[in-house]
Chain A
Amino acid sequence: MKNSKFIIGGLFILAAVVYLIASSTQASAEYFMTIEEVREQESEIVGKSLRISGAVLGDTIDYDPDTLTITFTVAHVTGDNDEIEANGGLALVLYNAVREEGTPRLDVVYNGPMPDLLQNEAQAIMTGYIDADGLFYADELLLKCPTKYEEAVPDQSEG
């Protein structure tokens, strides 16, 4: 009897935490998709919250000075870390994705300040949604240039 109020209290906290986690997950889950998957299921995922990673094509970066709208194209890279390693590391995978013509691509629209790291062969990690026009509207744009953080030994850095 004496313990029951503590047990009830504990269960109440547990229920509250489960509710908080479940409802917040529901409200803010983002689907992580590769560009290849996006291209395959384009019509079904319109409007859904997505998180996409791709290699930035430097030539396509365009910037509208009046609205601060940035548009660029990203090329498909695999989302699988092991596969990236097997293919020679992130830097090389990004480099190849940009160079090869056949990789699926996606046009991105982003409204915001120009990030320092938005450059050719950067890895763009974006959240946003695909609209009916087939463009990806990114709300958030994270960029990673693997070569800037740790590089291969000197003799391998070229190529």
Chain B
Amino acid sequence: MLPSLGYGILVITLLVLIYSVAVAIYGEVKKSAAMVESARRAMLLALPLITVASAILIYLLINDRYDVEYVWSVTNRSMPMYLKITAWWGGQPGSLLFWSWLLSSFTSAVTLRKWDRDRELLPWVLVVTGITLAFFISLNVFFENPFKLVPAGVSIPLDGRGLNPLLRHPGMIIHPPAQYLGFVAFTIPFAFAIAALITGRTDDRWIRITRRWTLWAWLFLSLGLVLGMRWAYDVLGWGGYWGWDPVEIAALMPWLTGTAFLHSVMIQEKRGMLKHWNMILIILTFDLVIFGTFLTRSGVLSSVHAFAQSEIGPLFFVFIVFIFVASFALLIHRWVDLKSETEMKSMLSREALFLLNNLLFLSILVVSFWGVMFPLISELFTGSKVTVGPPFYERATGPLWGALMLLMGVAPLSAWGHSTIKTLGRSIWKPAVAALIAPIWALIAGITNWVALIGFTLIALVITVSIREFWRGAQARSKRSGESFFSELWKLIKRNRRRYGGYIIHISMVLMGIGIIGIELFQSDTQQHLGIGDQVELAGYTVQYDRLDQFRHEDGRFITRGEMSLSKDGKDLGTLAPRYDLYPDGQPMTIPAVRSTLVDDVYIILVNWEGITAESTPFKVYHNPLVKWVWIGGYVFIAGIIIAAWRDEEEEKI
């Protein structure tokens, strides 16, 4: 009964959406405000409908209704309540429904805004979001029904299959929703961009309306990436966090264009330039969001993320091509109207450096896209299947990331409109000299790797330049007003959230850079078989194997747990307990033990294999220098973006 009701609601939702899109277009053509209003109200129905459908699914999940295939496939009786609820997005059909629910929430929020000044955009925003939402709901209705029952004649299973244990991790519970939020939220700026193109509004209104949407979308997209990295580091047990897996790249690609977009919209707002470029970037970002979803769900690529082979692949492909062709056709149609209001003159001006930053992000995009597509292209033309691995991406994107860091150091000092080497040189030499402390310090510490030395110099440059901007701004204000430095610093940030939030984000990025340089260039590891009492040495640390426990946990897991004491130069640094859990269904899980400091991580894995004994237990020990800075950078990043995206008090309500 309930499953049929859930499915019925999804069908009704789809019909409502089709109605909304059709009536919005018809109303616009007939210039009937009443019809557009009807379309708007129909759109507002989507959220309650999808919410009810989702509530039914969650009810089925927490009540162990194994007559529903989806419930059977992602939960079992032994799972705690919170995991049963989060199983909502634990498999293909449910996560598609979750995606639709998020999108309908965002769409409702947009639909409810005050449209006074932008009435003409409304019908087209409804059309774009409505089509996107209808596409995702139709996937649920026609192909991936979350309410599908086990076939008639088959006895109802007594227990479910449960969630893959690798996914039973707090990071894995937040990572998908964060990633989805980031993906889905980009629909809104895209919808406004298309509405602006259709109506021929060539000003930057669409950018101003969606500015904060874009920032929040970007926050969640970035958060999703960092959480995914953290999960890989904590759970997958291979000593790293980023493997240039095609799906990781699929999530990185919209991040790259989105980041470029965030920067280049500022040029349009300030100088009325790069209008075509901003359109191209938002179209690409949205299309890459759908492409990323397609890659994870269609089974075209082998990856740890791949869902089962699914029928929805071709449909996704059609949708991606449709977005691409329709959007670019519109853009070409409006090409002449989107002329720049000013011309770019100086190569070192702020706007030119922003453009360069955009080109670098796009270059990284091209490299990534090439890496993913190269196997297909090569097979098409030479017949032999060739692929490229992480070394390709590291080698090809390394110099580009480096150039971006240099820009983060230089661009804040350049002037809008016109800048020369002389003016730029005058403002940069002091921070540049200060930044030299970093490589000198590194040299004294014995680091001679030149890539690392350049990297550290650039990182130090970005940090000094950014902090100096805060200091100069607050100092000048405090001199003028006579108030204290810190209260002026507070006001300074409050008055220019985007600018100073942006600097904090720059700092966070290079802090992550410290960690990335550390693990990429200086990671070391060793594998050994140890008996109780044996020791292993790595990078100055001594790891002693103290004891081994093997027992069955009350939830059925069989746990093998080693205890190691860690010391350096004779100083005791505590106990580490790497674990190996074998789940009742035969799925094993390696849980590394990590001692993390600002300088380095010691990361120990119990490398289980049959017949593990106290006399001979295999361990792998990694020494990961500086990796903690990746996570520190992540926290600073969140702080920075919240500052940048917070609503300004004086800002008009949008």
Tell me the A residues contacting B by CB distance below 8 Å: 2, 5-6, 9-10, 13, 16-17, 20-21, 23-25, 27-33, 51, 53, 63, 65-66, 68, 79, 81, 84-85, 89-90, 112-114, 116-117, 119, 123, 125, 127, 140, 142, 144, 146, 148-151, 153-155
A31 contacts which of B309, B360, B385, B393 (Cβ < 8 Å)?
B385
A-B contact pairs, 27 of them (CB 8 A): A2-B343, A2-B345, A6-B352, A17-B366, A17-B400, A20-B395, A20-B396, A21-B396, A28-B388, A28-B389, A29-B388, A30-B388, A31-B385, A31-B386, A31-B387, A63-B610, A65-B529, A66-B529, A68-B529, A85-B309, A113-B237, A113-B607, A114-B609, A116-B590, A142-B302, A142-B304, A149-B308
- Inside 8 A of B356's CB, which chain A residues have their CB? 9, 13
Partner pick for B347 among A5, A13, A140, CB 8 A cutoff: A5
Of the residues B151, B347, B607, contact of A153 by C-beta under 8 Å? B151
Q: How far is the CB of A29 from chain B (nearest CB, A)?
A: 5
Report the separation of the CA atoms of residues A65 and B530 in the bound assembly, to the nearest whole angstrom: 10
Given contacts A13-B359, A148-B164, A149-B164, contact A81 B391 (CB under 8 A): no
In whole angstroms, what is the CA distance A47 to B144 when docked? 45
Known: A28-B392, A89-B309, A149-B164. A154 touches B72 (CB 8 A): yes
Partner of B389, one of A20, A23, A140: A140
Quote the shortest CB–CB distance from A137 to chain B (angstroms): 16
CB of A35, distance to nearest CB on chain B (Å): 13
> Which residues of chain A have C-beta atoms less than 8 A from B527's C-beta?
68, 112-113
| Residue among B586, B588, B616 making CB contact with A65, cutoff 8 Å | B616
B605 near A: Cβ within 8 Å? yes
A20 lies within 8 A of B299 (CB): no
**Inter-chain contact A125/B616, CB cutoff 8 Å:** no
Residues of B within 8 A of A153 (CB): 69, 150-151, 154
- In chain B, what residue has the closest Cβ to A9? B347
Identity of the chain A residue whose Cβ is nearest the Cβ of B392 in the assembled complex: A28
Interface residues of B in 274-313 (CB under 8 A from A): 299-300, 302, 304, 306-309
Distance between Cα atoms of A13 and B362 in the complex (Å) = 11
The total of chain B residues at the interface (CB under 8 A) is 64
With beta carbons under 8 angstroms apart, the residue of B73, B363, B607 that contacts A150 is B73
Decide: B157 and A154 in contact? CB cutoff 8 A: yes
Alpha-carbon distance between A16 and B402 when the two chains are bound, in angstroms: 14
CB contact list, B331-351 vs A, under 8 A? 343-345, 347
Chain B, residue nearest A30 (CB): B387
Roughly how many angstroms separate A7 CA and B57 CA in the complex, as a whole number?
A: 56
Is the Cβ of A155 less than 8 Å from the Cβ of B154?
yes
Q: Which residues of B contact A16 (CB under 8 A)?
A: 399
Complex Cα gap A23–B392 (Å): 9
CB-CB nearest in chain B for A53:
B302
With A17-B363, A17-B366 as contacts: A150 and B308 at CB distance below 8 Å: yes
A64–B212 Cα gap in the complex (Å)? Answer: 57
Flag whether B92 is at the interface (Cβ < 8 A).
yes
* B385 x A24 contact (CB < 8 A): no
| Nearest CB in chain A: distance from B130 CB, A | 31
CA distance A16 to B362 in the complex (A): 13
| Chain A residues within an 8 Å CB radius of B91 | 150
- Decide if B375 is an interface residue (CB 8 Å cutoff): yes
CB of A81 within 8 A of CB of B299, answer yes
Complex Cα distance, B306 from A116, in Å, reads: 18
Kindly provide the distance from the CB of B414 to the nearest chain A CB, expressed in whole angstroms.
15
Could you say which of A20, A33, A119 contacts B367, with CB atoms under 8 Å apart? A20
On whether the beta carbons of A28 and B395 are closer than 8 Å, the reply is yes
Chain A residues within an 8 Å CB radius of B347: 5-6, 9
Inter-chain contact B359/A10, CB cutoff 8 Å:
yes
Q: A9-B347, A30-B388, A32-B384 are known; give 16 further A-B pairs, CB within 8 A.
A: A6-B344, A17-B400, A24-B367, A24-B391, A29-B386, A29-B392, A32-B375, A53-B302, A81-B300, A112-B620, A116-B588, A116-B590, A123-B302, A127-B389, A140-B389, A144-B304
B contacts, CB < 8 Å to A: 69, 72-73, 91-92, 150-151, 154, 157, 161, 164, 237-238, 299-300, 302, 304, 306-309, 343-345, 347, 352, 356, 359-360, 363, 366-367, 370, 374-375, 384-389, 391-393, 395-396, 399-400, 527-529, 586-590, 605, 607-610, 616, 618, 620
- Judge whether A17 and B367 touch: CB under 8 Å: yes
Residues on the B chain within 8 Å of A146, using CB: 308
What B residues does A148 contact at CB under 8 A?
164, 587
Nearest first, the 10 closest Cβ-Cβ pairs linking A and B are A32-B385, A150-B308, A113-B607, A24-B396, A28-B392, A116-B588, A28-B391, A24-B395, A114-B609, A17-B363
Q: In the complex the two chains form, is B370's CB within 8 Å of A20's CB?
A: no
Chain A residue nearest in CB terms to B367: A21
How far, in angstroms, from A23 to B607 measured CA to CA in the complex?
37
Interface centre among A16, A17, A32, A84 (most CB of B within 10 A): A17
Are A25 and B620 CB-contacts (below 8 A) given A114-B609, A116-B589? Answer: no
Least Cβ–Cβ distance between B361 and chain A, in angstroms: 12
Tell which of A27, A31, A33, A89 touches B395, judged by Cβ atoms closer than 8 Å: A27
Contact assessment for A114 and B608 in the assembled complex, using a CB-CB cutoff below 8 Å: yes
With contacts A114-B608, A146-B308, A149-B308 known, is A27 near B589, CB below 8 A?
no
Collect the chain B residues with CB atoms within 8 Å of residue A84's CB. Answer: 309
Residues of B within 8 A of A81 (CB): 299-300, 309
- Closest B residue to A118 by beta carbon equals B609
Chain B residue, CB-CB nearest to A34? B385
Q: Chain A residues near B528 (CB, 8 Å)?
A: 68
B512 to chain A, nearest CB (A): 22
Q: A25, B374: Cβ atoms under 8 Å?
A: yes
* B302 contacts across to A, CB distance below 8 A: 53, 123, 125, 142, 144
The distance from the CB of B298 to the nearest CB of chain A, in whole angstroms, is 10
How near does chain A come to B84, taking the closest CB pair, in angstroms? 18
CB distance from A109 to the nearest CB of B (A): 15
Instruction: Given A30-B387, A113-B607, A149-B308, check contact A154 B154 (CB 8 Å).
Output: yes
- Determine if B387 and A155 form an interchain contact, defined as CB atoms under 8 angstroms apart: no
With A27-B391, A113-B620 in contact, is A149–B307 under 8 Å at CB?
yes
Contacting residues, chain B, for A17 (C-beta < 8 A): 363, 366-367, 400
- Distance to closest chain A CB from B152 (angstroms): 11
Q: Shortest beta-carbon distance, A48 to chain B, in Å?
A: 11
In the complex, the answer to whether A79 meets B385 with C-beta atoms within 8 Å is yes
Is A114 a contact of B618 with CB atoms below 8 Å?
yes
With both chains docked as a complex, state the minimum distance between the C-beta of B289 and any C-beta of chain A, in angstroms.
23
Whether A20 touches B400, Cβ cut-off 8 Å, given contacts A6-B347, A28-B395, A149-B308, is: yes
Contacts of A90 in B (CB 8 A): 309
Cα separation A46 to B385 with both chains bound (whole Å): 17
Instruction: Judge whether B363 and A13 touch: CB under 8 Å.
Output: yes
- Please, which residue of chain A has its CB at the minimum distance from the CB of B370? A21
- The answer for the CA separation of A114 and B590 in the assembled complex, in Å, is 10
Chain A residues with CB under 8 A of B161: 151
State A9–B384 Cα separation when bound (angstroms). Answer: 36
CB nearest neighbor in A for B345 = A2
A9-B392 Cα distance, complex, nearest whole Å: 25
Known A112-B527, A114-B618; contact A151-B73, beta-carbon cutoff 8 A: yes
CA distance A29 to B387 in the complex (A): 6
Cα–Cα, bound, A31→B385 (Å): 6
Q: How far is the CA of A68 from the CA of B605 in the complex (A)?
A: 13
Give the residues in chain B near A31, CB-CB below 8 Å: 384-387
Q: Which residues of B contact A21 (CB under 8 A)?
A: 366-367, 370, 396
